[in-house]
């Protein structure tokens, strides 16, 4: 018979990561499911390279570093973590829930925590790449930044025409041996004068009105590319060890209403215990709405604690609503 988890947490953004840690700290049997291949939600998708200043105890921290530390914390008690599976169905059973994912896996849960944000953001690939090959290579081109250290001493090429591409180029230029932006337009959208100046100071190469004509790949490894200026058709070959693209995003919405969850203006109303209208399904983080709610990382943490504590009390009526971590780890030793 399949195992029943005390709680399945859907969404591995900052809220889901903290909820995973907190629930395992309280001794619950937890499964975390994330639809993307990597954890970190919006922080990793939109601002891994930006400094965050409003998380308690961390005067300033890079987005990617915060997620790294949160992942380490979430894995402290070795909960199973599933990535690359989008939860498509939640079916209520007599004594819990059956969750089904995009890969047709099924998981049993006594309680569910929705830490999904509005859904999953998928990066769009440049349309002009449709004509390029090989397909297998195109599918592996990252659409968000990896660890900064992975770009050390590399020739990094970034394609796109937005402020995001500029921000990434400036970040990566701290460690890369060379950074090149290939912009298929004449300008970058919404770029400030300060960013323009920073690009010049960081000696980022910029090709405008330019597209990739061909990838140069040897032994499955990118070595360079042929680029082409769109107005004069002049071609040249440039060296490249890493390619990253940002071409906008589209949102795959989480099917809350299909799961019986009542939404209002795109957000889930919860009670003071962070429980939704469906008994046993809790929600936390950016997706919830209540008076005074703010859509901030730290608010997601407190939402998660409240939800987990109340789910815990439903599972075990003798459980205390709140136990200090100082006490929990003292008695575990
Ligand atoms: C540009 C920008 C800057 C910001 N700056 C700050 C800041 O300085 N300080 C601050 O506190 N906050 C900031 N925020 C807000 C902060 O990013 C959010 O409050 C926080 O990331 C919300 O986390 P979350 O885990 O609730 O949601 P998300 O980060 O959206 O994570 C939800 C996760 O759930 C997954 N998911 C969704 N549906 C499913 C499904 N059906 N199955 C499986 N997985 C699913 C998604 O793929 C995603 O990984 C900023 C936001 C943006 C966009």
Per-residue pLDDT of the chain (333 residues; tens, 9 = 90+): 789 999 999 999 999 999 999 999 999 999 999 999 999 999 999 999 999 999 999 999 999 999 999 999 999 999 999 999 999 999 999 999 999 999 999 999 999 999 999 999 998 888 889 888 888 898 889 998 888 999 999 999 999 999 999 999 999 999 999 999 999 999 999 899 998 899 889 889 999 999 999 999 999 899 999 999 998 999 999 999 999 999 999 999 999 999 999 999 999 999 999 999 999 999 999 999 999 999 999 999 999 999 999 999 999 999 999 999 999 998 776
**pLDDT at residue number 35:** 97
Q: Is 285 in the pocket of ligand 1 (CB under 6 A)?
A: yes
Q: Is 87 annotated as a binding residue?
A: yes
Atom of ligand 1 nearest to the CA of 53: 8
Would you tell me how many other CB atoms lie within 10 Å of the CB of residue 159? 26
Tell me the whole-structure pTM to 2 decimals.
0.92
Q: Is 220 annotated as a binding residue?
A: no
The rounded Cα 26 to chain-centroid distance in angstroms is 25
Q: Could you tell me the distance, in angstroms and rounded to a whole number, from the CA of residue 168 to the centre of ligand 1?
A: 19
CA-CA distance, 119 to 132, in Å (whole number)? 30
CA-CA distance, 333 to 330, in Å (whole number)? 6
The rounded Cα 304 to chain-centroid distance in angstroms is 17
CA-CA distance, 333 to 324, in Å (whole number)? 15
Q: Is 8 annotated as a binding residue?
A: no
Q: Is 300 in the pocket of ligand 1 (CB under 6 A)?
A: yes
213 and 199 Cβ atoms separated by less than 8 Å: no
**pLDDT at residue number 1:** 72
CA-CA distance, 279 to 276, in Å (whole number)? 7
Q: Is 42 annotated as a binding residue?
A: yes
* CATH number attached to the domain at 4-121+250-332: 3.50.50.60
Atom of ligand 1 nearest to the CA of 102: 42
Which two tokens mark 131? 């004509």
Classify domain 125-247 by CATH architecture. Answer: 3-Layer(bba) Sandwich (3.50)
**pLDDT at residue number 333:** 60
Atom of ligand 1 nearest to the CA of 285: 26
Q: Is 297 in the pocket of ligand 1 (CB under 6 A)?
A: yes
**pLDDT at residue number 199:** 86
pLDDT digits (tens, 9 = 90+) for 98-113: 999 999 999 999 999 9
Q: Is 34 annotated as a binding residue?
A: yes
Look at residues 293, 298, 319, 302 and name the one whose alpha carbon lies nearest to residue 111.
319
- Residue nearest (by alpha carbon) to ligand 1 atom 14: 296
- 178-182 and 155-159: which strand pairing? parallel
Q: Could you tell me the distance, in angstroms and rounded to a whole number, from the CA of residue 144 to the centre of ligand 1?
A: 14
Q: Is 36 in the pocket of ligand 1 (CB under 6 A)?
A: yes
Best of 101, 116, 305 for a ligand 1 pocket test (most atoms within 8 Å of beta carbon): 116
Residues of the chain with CATH 3.50.50.60: 4-121+250-332, 125-247
Task: Tell me if residue 62 falls in helix, strand or coil.
Answer: strand
């Amino acid at each position: 018979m399949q195992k029943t988890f005390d709680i399945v947490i859907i969404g591995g953004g900052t809220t889901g990561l903290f909820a995973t840690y907190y629930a395992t700290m309280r001794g619950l049997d937890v499964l975390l499911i994330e639809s993307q291949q990597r954890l970190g939600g919006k922080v990793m998708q939109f601002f891994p390279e930006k400094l965050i200043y409003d998380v308690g105890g961390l005067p300033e921290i890079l987005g990617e570093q915060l997620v790294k530390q949160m992942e380490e914390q979430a894995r402290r008690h070795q909960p199973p973590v599933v990535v690359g599976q989008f939860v498509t169905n939640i079916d209520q059973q007599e004594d819990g829930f059956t969750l089904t994912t995009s890969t047709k896996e099924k998981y049993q849960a006594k309680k569910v925590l929705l830490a999904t944000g509005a859904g999953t953001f998928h990066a769009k690939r440049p349309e002009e790449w449709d004509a390029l090959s090989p397909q297998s290579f195109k599918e592996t081109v990252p659409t968000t930044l990896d660890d900064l250290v992975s770009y050390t001493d590399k020739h990094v090429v970034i394609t796109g025409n937005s402020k995001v591409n500029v921000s990434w180029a400036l970040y990566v230029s701290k460690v890369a041996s060379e950074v090149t932006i290939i912009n298929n337009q004449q300008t970058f959208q919404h770029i400030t004068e300060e960013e323009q100046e920073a690009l010049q100071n960081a000696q980022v190469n910029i090709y405008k009105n330019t597209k990739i004509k061909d990838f140069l790949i040897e032994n499955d490894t990118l070595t360079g590319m042929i680029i082409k200026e769109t107005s004069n058709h002049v071609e040249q070959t440039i060296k490249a060890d890493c390619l990253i693209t940002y071409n906008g995003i589209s949102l795959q919405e989480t099917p809350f209403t299909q799961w019986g969850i009542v939404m209002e203006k795109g957000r889930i109303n919860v009670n003071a215990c962070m429980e939704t209208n469906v008994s046993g399904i809790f929600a936390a983080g950016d997706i919830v709405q209540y008076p005074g709610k703010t859509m901030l990382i730290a608010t997601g943490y407190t939402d998660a604690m409240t939800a987990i504590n109340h789910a815990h009390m439903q599972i075990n009526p003798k459980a205390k609503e709140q136990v200090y971590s100082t006490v929990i780890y003292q008695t575990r030793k």
